[in-house]
Structure 1
Amino acid sequence: MVALCSLGAFEALAVSTAMPTVAVDLDGLRYYTFAFAVAFATSVVGMLVAGRWCDRSGPTPAMWTGVALFVAGLVVAGTATGMGALIAGRAVQGVGNGLFGVALYVLVARVFPAQRHPAVFSAFAAAWVVPAIVGPGLAGLVVDHVGWRWVLLGAAVLTVPAAILMRPGLTAAQGGAVAAGTVADGAAAGGATAVGQPERPVRHALRLAFGVLRAGRGLPAVVSVRALVSGAFTGAEVLLPLLLVHERHLSPGGAGLILTVGALGWSGASWVRGRDLLHLSHAGYVRLGGGLLALGMVGTAILVLPDVPAGFGMAFWVLSGSGMGLVYPTLSVLTLELAAPHEQGSASSALQVADAVAAAIASSATGALLWALYDVAGLPAYAVVLGLTGLLAAGAVALAGRTRAEALLPVP
């Protein structure tokens, strides 16, 4: 699992580093953020399919199908001769990412006891450390000396052995997962027979969706917060390499350093969270993480000042990464705690769907807003957009108290 997470981390950081060069080479700079948004958007399809699929059949089928689509999408994107083909490859890749992302969550629930979940999710974040250190720099070297295509094609090749390492864990989890799915199906069928409502899973999903929209206490609020922090972080992160390469004239490898420091901050904070070194409640970790995220985004806007060294903005981005490192594992733990065992796949799917939808909307919206403002205001347009992403993170702080399940307790 950790190997696959590391590979996913390398792919995400490497592609983000290479994308400014890709967009220029394929004459698609105005579609730069859309190449990210489409992958997030189509991953929703994979997540929605994977939720019920994992609950019914265990994580194995969704995992292998997801990996196959992920690799196929990378190959299509890596051989693209136009921006349209690249975006199509990213779309296929997104579906695969959504499938195996949910399967990983369910695998954690099936294999590890609940008390080990914080440490496991912390290990997932720690899997970003090595890719964060070498990924952007290596991607920059590949772009400069071999070509950006090999960033994508290389990730496709490396995914295969990482996935094969998953086989023992999937075999161990599959029997229990199938049994859980059979029990869940029987319970659902029994409930449908008793009340004459065969659409019970649909009604449950609709209730959860309505709860998310109003940030209802418990699991709905967890999903709402995940959407806010995902939209905030992604909306800012996709713009930063573009700002550094095309406005501050850094090399792809140099610009990728901001992704490195952010990922290292994320991993370090996740390590702290996994060991509960701050001794905070779940809501406390969400509140602190959201505050760091907002502060880092607002501070990163200093990069629009040409005379300010790029390192200052990168230092602020460490705060944003650290905020995500505190929030993400906490929300993952809460999701598994608040969901019934036979609904952990669906709950994990809902969490990741919210993540992907928010990321897709944010990356599209920030790109559209940036270019609309850039034609009028120039470089300060980046600062405006970064400030707005900071407001999304502040919203997560405001909702942190509602992630507790106790409905009768006041929001602190």
Structure 2
Amino acid sequence: MSSEATRASSIWDPAHIWVTIGAVALIFLAAMQSLAVTTVMPVVSDDLDGAALYAIAFSGTLATSVIGMVAVGAWSDRSGPVWPLTVSVGLFVAGLVVAGLAPTMDVLVVGRLVQGLGTGGQTVALYVVVARVFPPALHGRVFAAFSAAWVVPSLIGPFLAGAVAEYLHWRWVFLGVAALTVVAFAMVATRLWGMPLETQHPSSDPIGPRLACAVAVAVGALALSLAGELGQFAGLVVAASVLVITFAARPLLPRRTLTAGRGLPSVVLMRGLIAGSLFGAEIYVPYLLIDEYGFSPTWAGLGLTAAALAWAVAADLQGRFGDRIGNTRIAVIGTVLLCAATLSAAATAAWLLPPAVVIGGWALAGAGMGLMYPRLTVLTLAYSTPQNQGFNSSALSISDSVGSATSIAVMGLAFTALAGTDAGFPAVFVIAAALALLALVPGLRLGHAHEARP
């Protein structure tokens, strides 16, 4: 890294500003798309008669993202993040176009699978960009800016997506983001192509075995999502899928991750558990508001706004005061807030409490995630060296996606099994609360990696 970058005191100084703007813009659009799809998917499912594929439209994207993460992580460790980021953005845009033009739910799911390849790769490539471009003292502020990039999407994304679906067509939710992503990437690519981002000692670890494991994880997650359609064989498929995911994921993660080893393994494991809790449950919040309370897509989207705003505020506090608060306190406070949010949603669904309860309670989930999410990313880079930044970044994102995909699949199975009863929505949120509590186990074993103070 250049001496100029080392002396930098701000992510907005002339040496970094265009990389910061471009990277934040890509995160912004990914956030916009994520919030938008969560809002409009009930409408898409109804329009394309695809209720049976509702869960896989989310979990499938997360499953294939694992393949993108592994490939881009290894590629970045060998030759730098520029080409991996370019290809990832291309796949992300292609998937959005396919989904936006899809005539059936099956084709839309295919588009979502392609989009997942790009989403996973883009996330890892941007993490490596941060590690290679910004000095360690600025990492916390960069990831706080990434979290803050959810602020505007949280304010206008769900509402805008609902309005687009209601007054124009849901297809523009996909196609509009695709066009804007091309513009955002052009901004960051111009600067990155002129930077020396290759490491002096590139990794030579073989990629084939890890890529095969990533494919196995993705196939296992997809099979788990589809198990509910297999009738009497569903139980067997669920058990086999969980075993495949568990064993195939092990080489993709740091050693002792699944046993909550102290330090980086617990950082990676905790990320997967809290992601599974929040993202698994969050897709059912607008579903609950539309199905049980008669909200329009526009107003149901606003149910996610308070959480996203709280996430951004908490992320900024973490970026400024995270070292003072400490990793253990952040883990405890964050998981308690997440558990309280999911239990409030379960109570709302079980007893049909006023919708303000689930909307307000979901803000607690956002606050908890805003504290934990960027902190875990900072810790991952602090535990990393230039030779394994790509591997560790991909491991963090893999845990994120596998946790989310698996929990969405399990919640989808529970929701489908309880269809026609009043227990479907409460069951989903109770599963999320259990995952939040379980995250305390690795949360108390995060340790310290001498993370840089801003």
Is 1:58–2:80 an aligned residue pair? Answer: yes
**Residue of structure 2 equivalent to 1:117:** 139
**Are 2:273 and 1:228 equivalent residues in the alignment?**
yes
Which residue among 288, 311, 314 is the counterpart of 2:333?
288
Check conservation: 1:111, 1:172, Cα contact below 8 A.
Answer: no
Q: Is the 8 A contact 2:379 2:448 kept in 1?
A: no
Cα deviation, 1:35-78, whole Å, max 9, x if unaligned, reads 00000000000001011101111111111101111111011001
| Aligned 1:84-233 pairs, distance under 5 A | 84-173=106-195, 175=196, 177-178=197-198, 180=199, 182-185=200-203, 206=251, 208-233=253-278
1:363 aligns with: 408
Selected match of 1:395 from 438, 443, 446: 438
Structure 1: distance between partners of 2:145 and 2:448? 26
What does residue 342 of structure 1 align with?
387
CA RMSD, 1 decimal: 2.2
* Larger deviation, residues 294-303 vs 146-155: 294-303
Percent identical residues: 42
| One-letter amino acid of the structure 1 residue matched with residue 360 of structure 2 | A
1:80 alignment partner in structure 2: 102
Contact kept in structure 1, 2:32 and 2:157, CA below 8 Å: yes
TM-score by length of 2: 0.82
In 1, Cα distance between equivalents of 2:209 and 2:39: 45
The runs of 5 or more residues in structure 1 that have no matched partner are 193-197, 407-412
TM-score (norm 1): 0.90
| Distance 1:352-1:44 versus aligned 2 partners, 3 A rule | same
Q: How many residues align?
A: 390
Q: CA deviation at 1:212?
A: 0.9
Aligned to 1:341, the other structure's residue is in SS state coil
Name the CA shift for 1:313/1:170 in 2 (closer, same or farther; >3 Å). Answer: same
Report what 2:295 is aligned to. Answer: 250
Report if the CA contact (8 A) 2:252-2:395 is conserved: no
Does the 8 A contact of 2:29 with 2:177 survive in 1? yes
Instruction: Give the structure with the larger helix fraction.
Output: 1
Which of 10, 18, 21 is 2:40 aligned to? 18
Corresponding residue SS for 2:111: helix
Question: C-alpha offsets along residues 95-154 of structure 1, whole Å, 9 cap, x if unaligned?
Answer: 011111100000000111111111110000001111110111111111111111111111
Write the distance in 2 (CA, Å) between the matches of 1:63 and 1:364.
Answer: 28
Structure 1 residue 303: Cα displacement: 2.8
Corresponding residue number in structure 1 for 2:362: 317
The whole-number CA distance in structure 1 between the counterparts of 2:141 and 2:43 is 37
How many Å separate the matches in 2 of 1:329 and 1:240? 23
Once the 2 structures are TM-superposed, how far is the Cα of residue 286 of structure 1 from its aligned partner? 1.9
User: Which amino acid in 1 is paired with 2:424?
Assistant: A
- The answer (yes or no) to whether the contact 2:69–2:124 under 8 Å persists in 1 is yes
- 1:273 is displaced (CA, Å) by 0.5
What CA deviation, in whole Å up to 9, does each residue of 1:168-205 have, x standing for no partner? 442354x1x31x1x4134xx58xx9xxxxx99999xx7
* CA distance in structure 2 between the aligned counterparts of 1:199 and 1:41, rounded to whole angstroms: 18
